[in-house]
Each structure stands twice: as C-alpha cells, then as structure tokens.
C-alpha cells in the first residue's frame, strides 16, 4: 500500500460504480496524496421494470455514495442517459440488425465514460480522471502507451483501445499493477462493505442480461432459412440477427434442423458458420468452415499515432480476456490483414480486435471477415 503524503498531488475525478475496484481506487488515490471526487454515472434508464434486477442503479449509487462518505471524499452524480442511448445502445442495435457482433463496452468508454469524467474535471479545474480499470499507462519518448494490467485474468485494455493520447495524458489507472485478489484484501482490511461484491458482467452500465431477449425488444424478429454449406435448406430460425458466428444451434434456441441432416452428420453438434442477410449457414462441429485464418481490420485506431508497427511479435485478441493469438500483420492493396498462425473459431464481423506487441496495446479496430 502506498504511503500517505501530506502534499496534494492534484485533484482526481474518479468514476465510481459501487463495485470493489473503483472503491479501492478511491482509497489508493487518497492515500497517495490526491484530492478525490467520486462520480457516479447514470446511463441506462433503470426505471424500466425489465432492467430492475440486472441494472440495480439505486443500490449501486448508494454503495458508491457510502464509500465516499466513509473515505471522506466528495460525491457527485452525472446523468448521461440520453447520450448513452443515442451513442451506444442505438448504434449497437443497428450493428446487430446489419448482422454484425459489436462490443458496446469499447464505445461506452470512448464516447461516454472518459469524456464525461474529463468534462467534469475541466469544469472543476481538476488535474486528472481515474477509473478502476485493470490497465496501465506508460509515458514514452513518442507519447503515451497503453499496457495490459498486471493481472492477466482481469486485464481490461481490450475495452480501452479507442482511447486517445489526450485521454491517456490525464488518466490514472491505479489498479493496473495489482491483482484482483490483492484489491479484495485491501478492501477487506480497510473495512469497505463491498469487499466481496461480485464484479459487474454483461453490457457496460446495464449488466448481465439475457441478451437475445433484450435485442428482441428493440429489433423485430424476421424468420428465415437455415442452410448447409451447399445451400440446401435444413430448417428455419427466428431471426439471423439474434445469433452470432460460432454459436451452437438447436431447438432450444428456436432453430429447427431437418432430422435427415442430423442423421447424415452422425448426430454431431451444429454451429453457425456464416450469416448472409437473413440466412444462417451451418456446419457440423470441427468442420474447417467454422474457423478463419485471416482477419481484415477496418476502422483502425492507433493508440499512439506516432508509433510504428513492429515488424514481428504482434499478437491479436478478438474478445475480452481471449488468448493473445500469434500471427502476421500485412497490408494488402490498402487492406490491413492479420494472418493467424492457427485458424480460430467464433470470429464475426463487427467484433473488436486489438493488436499487442509484448504487453503494449498498439492498436485496435473492427473485424471484417469477407
């Protein structure tokens, strides 16, 4: 634990969720000599009955406020519901309607959380903003680098790839050099009531929900055919947008497959290999069509625009806490393509992909498979 010093290091606007990570972040910052102002961001409309159990806004706010009171730091609330709906949720629905698989947490950070905290910081003449993310920032000769968190089982750099040099220049990630187990111990030893509170899951600011049901409330169903790789009709589905590449199909998910096909493939499990408009193309488990060896990266964002891509030892990550996949980055006819050393399954258009050199996140973008 860092020793407390008397001279203030400046004022920090800290995003607080009511969870143990942001609570310990507040504690650490204060002990390090910063003046801390805790801020709770209200985003998704919690008054909708459907979200009451998965987005406990009031309970989380009360915890965050109680932690601030216990630590004797100022507490504020910000209401970003309309902007969150317009900038994150509605575009997410639009992406799904286009048969893509977006990651809303990436945009939640770059369009809502970090800009909101910095806007408040500037209005209060604060010096920094901070969050409880497990990531690190390092200043180099060419600018700021975004590094993985020390705890590889909690590293959240994947969600932060769209942050800019300006963002990194005034942001603090106090948990970057800690492991989650250490954070819980710190919280318990300092009598923080949420020391054993389960971490948040699911969509940023919403929670762990039945996503298909959530999606159905916004995007009308449109039944369509299920085809095999040769184009033969095998059955039907309730709507291609409700499914993603690599997902297993079956009657429990509303997908009916002809029993003749099931018998033909020897009762193997069946997975989605492609989506073409409102058609689902499926293949039996272990079929080569379920894996891809090339990823085209679009809408690339370099964390440090002045940096040069390393010529070797670049690895890609295609999902949060997914394996760092070795491969080769190429530029073919103006297209940035990552060629995977080992073909991978469950790669879908619209997914975020991040590129690392050792423990540094150098860039990120969106996947385009065809």
Q: Report the alpha-carbon distance of residue 359 to residue 148 in Å, rounded.
A: 6
Of 310, 295, 299, the residue nearest 361 (C-alpha): 310
> Is 108 part of the annotated catalytic residue set?
yes
Q: Are 281 and 238 in contact (CB under 8 A)?
A: no
Of 181, 172, 173, the residue nearest 153 (C-alpha): 181
Of 340, 336, 294, 296, the residue nearest 315 (C-alpha): 340
Angle between the 20-31 and 180-189 helix axes, to the nearest 10 degrees? 70
- Show contacts of 212-219: CB within 8 Å, 24+ apart: 212/242, 214/50, 215/93, 215/96, 215/241, 215/242, 216/242, 217/50, 218/93, 219/93, 219/96, 219/97
Q: State the catalytic residue, choosing from 36, 73, 203, 204.
A: 204
Cα dihedral 162, 168, 172, 175 in deg (nearest 10)? 50
Cα dihedral 339, 341, 343, 346 in deg (nearest 10)? -70
Query: Do the strands 135-140 and 143-148 form a parallel or antiparallel pair, or are they unpaired?
Result: antiparallel
Q: Report the alpha-carbon distance of residue 275 to residue 280 in Å, rounded.
A: 5
Q: Are 359 and 301 in contact (CB under 8 A)?
A: no
DSSP label at 4?
A: P
Q: State the catalytic residue, choosing from 36, 108, 137, 160.
A: 108
Q: Are 236 and 255 in contact (CB under 8 A)?
A: yes
Q: Are 134 and 155 in contact (CB under 8 A)?
A: yes
As annotated, the active-site residues are 108, 204
């Amino acid at each position: 634990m860092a020793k407390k010093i008397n001279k203030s290091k400046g004022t920090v606007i800290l995003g607080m969720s009511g969870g143990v990570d942001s609570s310990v972040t507040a504690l650490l910052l204060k002990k390090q000599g910063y003046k801390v102002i805790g801020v709770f961001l209200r985003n998704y409309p919690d008054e909708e009955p459907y979200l009451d159990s998965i987005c406990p806004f009031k309970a989380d706010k009360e915890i965050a406020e109680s932690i601030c009171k216990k630590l004797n730091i100022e507490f504020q609330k910000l209401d970003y519901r309309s902007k969150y709906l317009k900038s994150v949720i509605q575009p997410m629905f639009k992406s799904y309607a286009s048969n893509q698989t977006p990651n809303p947490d990436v945009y939640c950070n770059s369009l809502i959380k970090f800009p909101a905290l910095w806007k408040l910081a500037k209005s209060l003449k604060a010096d920094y903003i901070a969050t409880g993310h497990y990531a690190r920032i390092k200043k180099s000769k060419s600018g700021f680098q975004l590094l993985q968190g020390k705890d590889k089982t909690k590293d959240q750099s994947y969600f932060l790839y769209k942050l800019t040099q300006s963002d990194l220049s005034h942001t603090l990630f106090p948990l970057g050099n800690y492991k989650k187990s250490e954070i819980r111990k710190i919280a318990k030893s300092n009598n923080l009531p949420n020391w054993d509170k389960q971490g948040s899951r699911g969509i940023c600011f919403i929670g762990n929900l039945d996503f298909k049901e959530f999606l159905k409330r916004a995007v009308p169903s449109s039944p369509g055919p299920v085809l095999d790789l040769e184009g033969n009709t095998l059955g039907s589905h309730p709507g291609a947008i409700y499914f993603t590449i690599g997902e297993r199909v079956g009657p429990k998910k509303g997908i009916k497959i002809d029993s003749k096909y099931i018998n033909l493939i020897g009762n193997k499990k069946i997975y989605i290999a492609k989506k073409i408009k409102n058609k689902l193309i499926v293949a039996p488990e272990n079929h080569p069509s379920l894996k891809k060896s090339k990823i085209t990266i679009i809408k690339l964002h370099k964390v440090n625009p002045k940096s040069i891509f390393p010529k070797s030892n670049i690895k890609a990550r295609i999902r949060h806490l997914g394996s760092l996949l070795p491969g080769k980055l190429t530029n073919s006819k103006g297209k940035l393509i990552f060629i995977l050393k080992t073909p991978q399954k469950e790669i879908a258009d619209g997914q975020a992909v991040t590129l690392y050199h050792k423990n540094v996140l150098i860039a990120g973008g969106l996947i385009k498979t065809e």
